[in-house]
Amino acid sequence: MKIFVCLKQVPAKDSLLRVDETAGWIRESDLTHEINEPDAFALEEGLRLKEKHGGEVVVVGAGPARSASAIREALAKGADRAIHVEDDSLDRLDSFTTARALAAAIRTEPFDLVLTGLQSDDLGYGQTGVILAELLKVPHATLIMEVQKLEGSVKVKRELEAGWFQYVEMALPALLTIQSGINKVRYATLMGIKKAKTKELKRLTPADLGVDLTPRQRIQRVYLPQKTKQTQILTGTPKEAATALIQKLKFEARIL
């Protein structure tokens, strides 16, 4: 099997988040970065499928130059090679534009399976994987908790609401968005880190792939929510006060 795993670098969970001077994003100088946690589960699932059925795991990432460190970490964990679509704007673009860059890189080679994390920890749209499947014109399934390789197809277990699961068989090639917690993520070994230095990391630009990075949507402003307090005294009889309270909870607070 040839398995592509899409990977994003995001701010580390313990990073101090401050809005930058333009109010358009968070201040990059205050951040440390790491592999997006849902993508780490996707990578682990790809490595396990390769170990069980043979083949190749190719990591593909779209992001600024610093994203190469996350891609190298994936190589150290066991991926065979990597493709880095490099552009400074790719860490904050909308899902469609990011998927278009990833699709252009993946289309350069035949593949059996594309794995992505369910969503990114920074923007959390949860749309890149399904849009990527549409651009690649392959079937997809989301919230995957288990993958079984069959002859020419895969059988997957999807997590639904209220503790329900769905089993679906899909023809290959296909795309799966992996649910966090599907497996236990491995650490990079010292030998893996040494080997990663010799593995291929192909760098491409959007221009090389003929990809237009004009976004479909833009973040207009990033800001911290203002904490406010307001007190209202409800007067009248107990019945009138209770009626007024229900109306406010229902139509103003919208919690009923």
The tens place of each residue's pLDDT in the chain, 256 residues long, gives: 999 999 999 999 888 888 888 888 888 888 899 999 999 999 999 999 999 999 999 999 999 999 999 999 999 999 999 999 999 988 888 999 999 999 999 999 999 999 999 999 988 899 999 999 999 999 999 999 999 999 999 999 999 998 899 999 999 999 999 999 999 999 999 999 999 999 999 999 999 999 999 998 888 898 888 888 878 889 999 999 999 999 989 988 888 7
Residue of 83, 177, 91 lying closest to 129 (CA atoms): 177
pLDDT at 253: 82
Residue 68 — left, alpha, or beta (φ > 0 → left; ψ -120 to 50 → alpha)? alpha
Name the 3-class secondary structure at 30.
helix
* CATH number attached to the domain at 2-209: 3.40.50.620
State the DSSP string of 96-113: HHHHHHHHHHHTTS--SE
Of the candidates 91, 82, 5, 84, which has an alpha carbon nearest to the alpha carbon of residue 41?
5
Give residue 229's pLDDT.
Answer: 80
Alpha carbons 241 and 239: distance in angstroms, whole number: 5
pLDDT at res. 83: 98
Residue 5 has a CB neighbour count (10 Å cut-off) of 26
Q: How far apart are CA 55 and CA 48, in angstroms?
A: 11
Distance CA 223, CA 22 (A): 11
**Can you give the pLDDT at residue 183?**
94
